[in-house]
């Protein structure tokens, strides 16, 4: 009988772990409750952390996973994308709806002026054009007004809802006709549109093919559409590979004694048993780790009972001596050099992603991946890489 | 009076707090030519980080009744010149149990009887003595809502004060001075106060713009040092003894909560017997304040978690609900209290004094020491009188108590304005609070550019047109400056949803590279995070991580660059 793997968390690392475990032949159950850091995706795949620029041997597997997920593209030579804050930045990859400026020919890029609140094409064009990278590449941006709203109420529709309208084939065709009929767009080398090019379908790709020039979005602002696209793509992928989904909040992860079968207990009183468990629970953002500043604690704690311990910088967290509890300011984002403690505190693991117990010994059946791991780079690609590794390892019978 | 022949201006004012902007306005109104230099931003220090009240100071009644009288009188004048900026803050003072005023209620009652004598000066209502039942009817959250069961509760007193936005008050003074011809230079530090070698008289200042790096000399016949806690630094730059401008800096902090937790300000007693209070203020609640001798750098004052815990412990005795309330940040400022060695911080005089440095060999240099928000106008009048006397100038008399501040000219109908601009009632009401009649100018802007009605900061809320207005007409030069003037990014989300967009607008308006706008936004976010970090509770910790993660998701390498 094949091994059973329980993955806790359905963000980037949890989805990758489920995928890898399933590929290795295990039966997989994914337990998840609420959105985490991946739901904050902007549409850019990292570029942030220099240390993880190289995925090394994992590249092939990461690429094949992203291919299955179907919304994110890894770009070997890197890409350049526009942000809604008005600057251009590099990235290791992108949401397929995001315009990659490094493949746009020298010339003028249209920024589609649409009368929707929060979208100021003129300001964005001006800001992007004055970015040094655009200047060096000979790229210009020009706001081009175009009425692509069908109803006045669409001016106030949230990006996600407006994007959903564009999943309909009829609306897509109408949009293509609209854009085609614009004389001002004809000589432009590319078109930047608002972050509403479809939720489930590849609207940007369709427009690019129909108009014979790159069409895409800038990165979405926090909590924007890129996260919503991930959630839909994830649900499809997990269904496709036949992973079982369980919804609920985890209360305990454990195994009785040395021989006991690992189990995951939920608030709903449901118990899921397996041969191995992957903690892809996220850090503070995902809710796997919580701040609990009571007396005698270390401040941070796992949000459920498990044989895991927390660490930062390779050392276990120790209790604070203050009778009023630990001080958060020691971990907060200070704006000074180095990553803040809130981004580094996590589960103590060995270098293979296996969780250590309080004595520092690896627990055979327990793995962790993604933001939940101490000192892991908080990047999407690393979360995917670690998830694939942990899921693959969890699916293997150990000697 | 026209510009003096021998100098660029009659008067150089150093410091853009309430005292500096007050003097600049007064002197300009009297016909002097004025240049003001502020090292950070208008109201950056004590003025913008006060308790946001122009209270009459009942605290000073026993030792210093004159302070109470001037405070009340001037509080009344401020109402007359800036009615839009004021809001009533009724206070409750429970009496009896641990954590409250312990003086017998008859004595407290008699004390406020005396305070009532001054209330009419500021259109304040007389106090009322309350039974325990009255207290709980007015504020059911007192003592955890346990009814009149709180041990030893004998009743309480309610009295009346006025709230104000100190940032807006200082900005209104600066804008008025500027519109009447004064030159206001923010983010411009004074590097030296220049003096005539032969007789030591001041002849101007050498200044440097900290954003552009440009230095210049501005000659002036008189210089007013209105730098508050920075006073000793100014003395040194003028080449006189730093003892000549000695103050006893007292740090005070407030904790900011995400909403109005009460309808009344509630007075409590901290563990060391000091009086503290929680106060509904604009959209938030302020819990304050501490008063501790300060030995640090006034450019970088921050609340610490010790101070936060001290205040929380104190107020929780009377209003336990505070323990589960959501704190969204802290403010910290340094009071430039008059120097005295010996007394406890709390009993130091809140009086003010104008020092003529002729006695230190520097004719034409005057320092404003001490003072409080409520009496800034009379303080500015006294300082301007001395300057006028020194210059021997024939000028108009002081008019600052009768001439309305910008925005105070007339009452604006909020509802109609909001409907015309296509913004919701709350946004319109906040806009009119901050700008008074000047909100009409912002509405005109929106009429021309309807997209500028878009809400940039949803917490406060702040619309795009207001951001552009404060950059164009209120001397805002950075994202932080915009936040001080509009309260953008100071709400529950800590700027996560608006800082980047605001940086983009600042960069566009000021012709900066967009990257500089992003950097300003990141600096603002980091500073906001540091004011929250000392109070963070369980839910907020996750919020902190969320905000950092979302900034990283969008800006990626740019964030690393800025770190």
How would DSSP label each residue in B129-152? EE-HHHHHHH-TTGGGG-GGGSTT
Q: Do A337 and B529 touch (CB under 8 A)?
A: no
From chain B, the residues in CB contact with A332 under 8 A are: 529-530, 532-533, 536, 544
The pLDDT > 70 percentage for chain A reads 95
Span A271-326, pLDDT tens digits? 999 999 999 999 998 999 999 888 888 889 999 999 999 999 888 988 888 888 88
Among the candidates A227, A251, A270, a domain finishes at: A227
- Whether the CB of B287 is below 8 Å from some CB of chain A: the reply is no
Residue A399 lies in a domain: no
- Across the range A225-235, mean pLDDT stands at 95
Closest-CA residue of B relative to A303 is B538
For residue B62, give both structure tokens. 């026993």
- Whether the CB of B326 is below 8 Å from some CB of chain A: the reply is no
Span B319-375, pLDDT tens digits? 999 988 999 999 999 999 999 888 888 888 788 999 999 999 999 999 999 988 999
From chain B, the residues in CB contact with A221 under 8 A are: 497, 500, 554
Domain identity same for A83 and A208: yes
Q: Do A333 and B542 touch (CB under 8 A)?
A: no
Residue A161 lies in a domain: yes
- The minimal CB distance from B556 to the residues A46, A284, A338 is found for A46
Domain identity same for A145 and A206: yes
Residue A298 lies in a domain: yes
pLDDT of the residue at A169? 95
Among candidate residues A91, A54, A97, the one with its CA nearest the CA of residue A75: A91
- Whether the CB of B549 is below 8 Å from some CB of chain A: the reply is yes
pLDDT of the residue at A57? 82
Domain identity same for A298 and A280: yes
Does B3 score more than 70 pLDDT? Answer: no
From chain B, the residues in CB contact with A290 under 8 A are: 538, 541-542
* Highest-confidence segment of A317-326, A350-359, B378-387: B378-387
| Domains of chain B, first to last | 9-46+167-242+350-391 (3.50.50.60), 67-163+248-340 (3.30.9.10), 410-442 (no CATH), 454-562 (no CATH)
**A382 to chain B, minimum CA–CA distance in Å?**
14
**A291 to chain B, minimum CA–CA distance in Å?**
5
Question: Residue B149: which pLDDT band, with cuts at 50, 70 and 90?
Answer: low
Domain identity same for A72 and A164: yes
From chain A, the residues in CB contact with B551 under 8 A are: 222
pLDDT of the residue at B551? 80
Residue A121 lies in a domain: yes
Span B459-470, pLDDT tens digits? 999 999 999 999
Closest-CA residue of A relative to B499 is A85
Pairing of strands B215-225, B9-14: parallel
What's the mean per-residue pLDDT of chain B?
Answer: 92
Residues A18-31, buried b or exposed e (16+ Cβ, 10 A)?
Answer: bbbbbbbebbbbbb
Structural domain total, chain A: 2
Domain identity same for A202 and A310: no
Domain limits at A342?
Answer: 4-40+228-394
Residue A62 lies in a domain: yes
- The strand pairing partners of B162, in sequence order, are B88
The pLDDT > 70 percentage for chain B reads 98
Q: Do A89 and B544 touch (CB under 8 A)?
A: no
* Rounded Cα–Cα distance for residues B332 and B296 (Å): 12
Among the candidates A193, A227, A261, a domain finishes at: A227
* Rounded Cα–Cα distance for residues B72 and A109 (Å): 62
**What is the domain-level CATH number for residue A268?**
3.50.50.60
Strand order in A107-113's β-sheet? A139-145, A107-113, A190-192, A215-216
Domain identity same for A346 and A253: yes
Other Cβ atoms within 10 Å of B454 Cβ, number: 18
From chain B, the residues in CB contact with A47 under 8 A are: 556-557
* Rounded Cα–Cα distance for residues B77 and A235 (Å): 65
Does B563 score more than 50 pLDDT? Answer: no
pLDDT of the residue at A48? 45
pLDDT of the residue at B23? 98
Does B146 score more than 90 pLDDT? Answer: no
Pairing of strands B284-288, B247-257: antiparallel
Domain identity same for A233 and A112: no
Question: Residue A331: which pLDDT band, with cuts at 50, 70 and 90?
Answer: confident
Domain identity same for A275 and A386: yes
Domain identity same for A364 and A378: yes
Question: Residue A327: which pLDDT band, with cuts at 50, 70 and 90?
Answer: confident
Does B496 score more than 50 pLDDT? Answer: yes
Does B12 score more than 50 pLDDT? Answer: yes
Question: What CA–CA distances, in Å, run from A83 to A219, A379, B13, B557?
Answer: 5, 18, 42, 12
Residue A339 lies in a domain: yes
Pairing of strands A72-82, B188-195: unpaired
Domain identity same for A174 and A236: no
Pairing of strands A27-32, A4-8: parallel
Q: Do B517 and A85 touch (CB under 8 A)?
A: yes
Among the candidates A189, A212, A227, a domain finishes at: A227
What DSSP letter does each residue of B6-61 carry, written as one string? TSSEEEEEE--SHHHHHHHHHHHHTT--EEEE-SS-TTTTTGGGS-SB----GGGT
pLDDT of the residue at B538? 76
Question: Residue A376: which pLDDT band, with cuts at 50, 70 and 90?
Answer: confident
pLDDT of the residue at B560? 65
The answer to ipTM > 0.90 is no
Does B40 score more than 60 pLDDT? Answer: yes
Residue A110 lies in a domain: yes
- Listed in order, strand segments (DSSP E) in B413-547 are 455-457, 462-463
pLDDT of the residue at A47? 59
Pairing of strands B9-14, B155-164: unpaired
- Across the range B474-491, mean pLDDT stands at 97
For residue A117, give both structure tokens. 């609140």
Question: Residue A335: which pLDDT band, with cuts at 50, 70 and 90?
Answer: very low
Span A169-209, pLDDT tens digits? 999 999 999 999 999 999 999 999 999 999 999 999 999 99
A252's enclosing H/E stretch is strand A250-254
Residue A45 lies in a domain: no
| A-proximal residues of B, 510-529, CB under 8 Å | 513-515, 517-518, 521-523, 525-527, 529
Does B433 score more than 50 pLDDT? Answer: yes
Closest-CA residue of B relative to A299 is B538
Does A227 score more than 80 pLDDT? Answer: yes
Domain identity same for A190 and A298: no
What DSSP letter does each residue of A3-48 carry, written as one string? -EEEEE--SHHHHHHHHHHHHTT-EEEEEE-S--GGGG--SB----
The pLDDT > 90 percentage for chain B reads 73
Q: List Cβ neighbours of A235 (8 Å cut-off, separation of 6 or more).
A: none
Other Cβ atoms within 10 Å of B179 Cβ, number: 12
Domain identity same for A155 and A238: no
What's the mean per-residue pLDDT of chain A?
Answer: 90
- Contact status, residue A396 vs residue A307, Cβ threshold 8 Å: no
């Amino acid at each position: 009988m094949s091994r059973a793997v329980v993955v806790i968390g359905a963000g980037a690392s949890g989805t990758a772990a489920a995928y890898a475990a399933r590929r290795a032949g295990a039966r997989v159950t994914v337990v998840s409750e609420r959105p985490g850091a991946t739901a904050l995706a902007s549409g850019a795949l990292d570029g942030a952390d220099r240390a993880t620029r190289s995925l090394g041997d994992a590249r092939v597997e990461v690429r094949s996973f992203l291919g299955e997920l179907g919304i994110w593209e890894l770009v070997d030579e890197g890409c350049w994308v526009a942000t809604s804050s008005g600057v251009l930045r590099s990235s290791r990859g992108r949401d397929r709806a995001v315009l990659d400026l490094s493949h746009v020919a020298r010339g003028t890029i249209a920024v589609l002026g649409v009368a929707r609140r929060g979208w100021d094409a003129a300001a964005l064009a001006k800001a992007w054009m004055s970015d040094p990278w655009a200047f060096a590449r000979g790229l210009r941006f020009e706001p081009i007004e175009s009425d692509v709203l069908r109803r006045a109420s669409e001016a106030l529709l949230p990006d996600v809802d407006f994007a959903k309208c564009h999943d309909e084939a009829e609306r897509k065709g109408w949009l293509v006709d609209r854009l085609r009929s614009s004389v001002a767009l004809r000589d432009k080398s590319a078109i930047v549109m608002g972050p509403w090019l479809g939720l489930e379908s590849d609207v940007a790709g369709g427009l690019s093919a129909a108009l014979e020039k790159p069409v895409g979005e800038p990165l979405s602002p926090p909590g924007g559409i890129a996260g919503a696209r991930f959630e839909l793509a994830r649900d499809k992928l997990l269904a496709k590979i036949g992973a079982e989904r369980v919804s609920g909040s985890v209360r305990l992860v454990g195994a009785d004694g040395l021989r006991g079968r690992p189990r995951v207990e939920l608030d709903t009183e449901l118990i899921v048993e397996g041969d191995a468990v992957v903690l892809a629970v996220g850090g503070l953002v995902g809710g796997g780790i919580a701040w609990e500043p009571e007396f005698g604690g270390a401040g941070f704690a796992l949000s459920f009972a498990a044989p895991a311990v927390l660490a930062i910088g390779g050392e276990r967290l120790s209790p604070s001596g203050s009778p009023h509890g630990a001080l958060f300011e020691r971990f907060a984002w200070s704006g000074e050099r180095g990553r803040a403690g809130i981004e580094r505190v996590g589960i103590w693991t060995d270098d293979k992603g296996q969780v250590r117990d309080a004595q520092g010994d690896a627990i055979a059946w327990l793995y962790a991946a993604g933001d939940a791991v101490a000192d892991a780079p908080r990047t999407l690609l690393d979360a995917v890489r670690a998830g694939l590794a942990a899921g693959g390892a969890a699916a293997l019978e150990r000697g | 009076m026209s510009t003096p022949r021998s100098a660029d201006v009659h008067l150089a004012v150093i410091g853009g707090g309430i005292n500096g902007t007050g003097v600049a306005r007064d002197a300009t109104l009297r016909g002097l030519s004025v240049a003001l230099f502020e090292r950070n931003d208008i109201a950056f220090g004590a003025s913008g980080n006060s308790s946001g009240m122009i209270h009459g100071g009942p605290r000073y009644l026993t030792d210093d009744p004159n302070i109470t009288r001037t405070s009340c009188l001037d509080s009344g004048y401020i109402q007359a010149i800036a009615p839009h900026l004021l809001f009533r803050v009724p206070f409750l003072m429970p009496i009896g149990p641990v954590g409250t005023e312990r003086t017998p209620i008859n004595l407290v009652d008699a004390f406020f009887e005396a305070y009532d004598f001054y209330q009419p000066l500021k259109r304040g209502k007389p106090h009322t003595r309350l039974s325990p039942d009255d207290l709980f009817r007015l504020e059911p959250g007192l003592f955890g809502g346990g009814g009149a069961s709180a041990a030893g509760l004998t009743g309480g007193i309610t009295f009346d004060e006025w709230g104000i936005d100190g940032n807006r008050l200082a900005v209104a003074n600066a804008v008025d001075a500027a519109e009447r011809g004064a030159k206001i230079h923010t983010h411009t530090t004074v590097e030296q106060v220049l003096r005539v070698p032969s007789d030591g008289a001041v002849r101007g200042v050498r200044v440097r713009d900290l954003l552009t790096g440009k230095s210049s000399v501005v000659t002036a016949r008189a210089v007013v040092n209105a730098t508050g806690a920075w006073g000793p630094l100014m003395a040194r730059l003028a080449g006189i003894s730093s003892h000549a401008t000695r103050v006893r800096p007292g740090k005070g902090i407030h904790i900011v909560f995400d909403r109005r937790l009460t309808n009344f300000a509630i007075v409590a007693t901290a563990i060391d017997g000091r009086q503290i209070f929680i106060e509904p203020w604009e959209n938030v609640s302020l819990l304050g304040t501490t008063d501790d001798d300060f030995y640090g750098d006034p450019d970088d004052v921050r609340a610490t978690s010790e101070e936060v815990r001290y205040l929380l412990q104190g107020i929780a005795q009377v209003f336990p609900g505070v323990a589960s309330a959501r704190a969204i940040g802290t403010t910290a400022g340094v009071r430039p209290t008059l120097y005295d060695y010996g007394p406890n911080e709390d009993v130091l005089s809140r009086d003010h004094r104008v020092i003529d440095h002729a006695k230190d060999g520097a004719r034409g240099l005057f320092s404003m020491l001490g003072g409080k928000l409520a009496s800034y106008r009379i303080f500015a009048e006294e300082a301007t009188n001395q300057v006028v006397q020194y210059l021997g100038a024939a000028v108009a008399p002081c008019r600052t108590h009768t001439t309305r501040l910008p925005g105070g000219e007339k009452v604006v109908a909020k509802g109609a304005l909001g409907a015309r601009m296509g913004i919701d009632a709350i946004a319109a009401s906040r806009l009119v609070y901050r700008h008074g009649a000047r909100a009409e100018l912002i509405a005109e802007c929106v009429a021309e550019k309807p997209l500028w009605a878009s809400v940039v900061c949803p917490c406060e809320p702040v619309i795009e047109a207001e951001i552009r207005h404060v950059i164009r007409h209120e001397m805002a030069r950075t994202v932080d400056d915009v936040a001080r003037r509009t309260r953008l990014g100071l709400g529950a989300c800590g700027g996560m949803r608006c800082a980047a967009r605001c940086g983009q607008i600042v960069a566009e308006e000021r012709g900066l590279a967009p990257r500089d706008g992003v950097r300003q936004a990141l600096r603002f976010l980091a500073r906001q995070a540091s004011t929250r970090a000392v109070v963070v509770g369980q839910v907020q910790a996750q919020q902190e991580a969320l905000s950092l993660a979302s900034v990283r998701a969008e800006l990626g390498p740019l964030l690393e660059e800025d770190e």
